[in-house]
Amino acid sequence: MKELREGRQAAWWSIFCHDDGWRHHRRGSVLKPSGVTRTGIRVGIGGWTYVPWRGNFYPAGLPHSKELGYASRQLSAIEVNGTYYGTFKPPTFAKWRMETPDDFVFSLKANRFATNRRELAGAGESITRFVDSGISELGDKLGPIVWQFMPTKVFDAQDFEAFLALLPRDVDGRKLRHVLDVRHPSFMSEAYLKLARKYRCGTVFCDSIDYPSFADLTADFVYARLMRSDAKLTSGYAPKALDRWAEIARSWAEGSEPQDLPRVALPGKGSATSRDVFLFFINGAKERAPAAAMGLLQRFGFAAPPP
């Protein structure tokens, strides 16, 4: 079974590895504002503060205080990593909300003290502290909450279910979406999928050679972290790779399940209703992530504004 899964992942990635070369997208295409696409697909990057992006993604001379405002008008979502390492106060979340377009969305990594522990069943206080830290100040811009687990965290059904039972369904009257970033191969099991579906938590599809990669859907939305940006490509991903990701995202959004992605179980029949889809270009050659995200957005009818 392990060899079969590895073979599937290798076959999947081979689709992306070969291309005749990188083609620059034409400038002067129609500019549309940031936001969700007509198909319910959002595309973004991890964070907005990164030195190599200055003069690469951000225009030269742009004040650092304006970077979030600029990034949020080129993309439709950002995954916030800082909330994983530290606690932010309500005024900070309110500031982010006010600096970004009305249709923008933040996904937030939950604080690591909730997930980096031997017994997840004891995470209640840490979960409450994070959820009550002021994240509701984001209003309609609050997207999925990512609960990221260490690569050494082994799946224990009883303990993991105790953790899932602690996750609140809402905060200040606002419905919460939870997504699980599980990084140990033991989570590639029917037992895990059953639990995630029982508690209506999404599972991160992590397109990476370093972590388990399985596209089994466990919620009514899809969350993917794409981690293979190539420093040699100015666009981060080859055009054919971005074309394929656009096809996959549309399939998810329309309620279908792509047949060629690695997974634990056979794909289901799909959903009769559409889904929200969140795709983030994370890690890999991080300096190329904004270009890859904007390239994918262009395939949904968006184009980055001129510098």
Tell me the per-residue pLDDT of 69-79, one tens digit each, with 9 for 90 and over: 999 999 999 99
The answer to pTM > 0.75 is yes
DSSP notation for the chain = -HHHHHHHHHHHHHHHH--S---PPPSSPPP--SS--TTSEEEEEE-S--GGGBTTTBPTT--GGGHHHHHTTT-SEEEE-HHHHS---HHHHHHHHHHS-TT-EEEEEPPGGGTSSS-GGG-HHHHHHHHTTSGGGGGGGEEEEEEE--TT----HHHHHHHHHHS-SEETTEE--EEEE--SGGG-SHHHHHHHHHTT-EE-EEE-SSS-------SSEEEEEE----TT-TTSS-HHHHHHHHHHHHHHHTT---TTS--SS------SS--EEEEEE-SSSGGGHHHHHHHHHHTTT--PPP-
For 127-170, write each residue's pLDDT tens digit. 999 999 999 999 999 999 999 999 999 999 999 999 999 999 99
Domains of the chain (ranges plus CATH)?
40-298 (3.20.20.410)
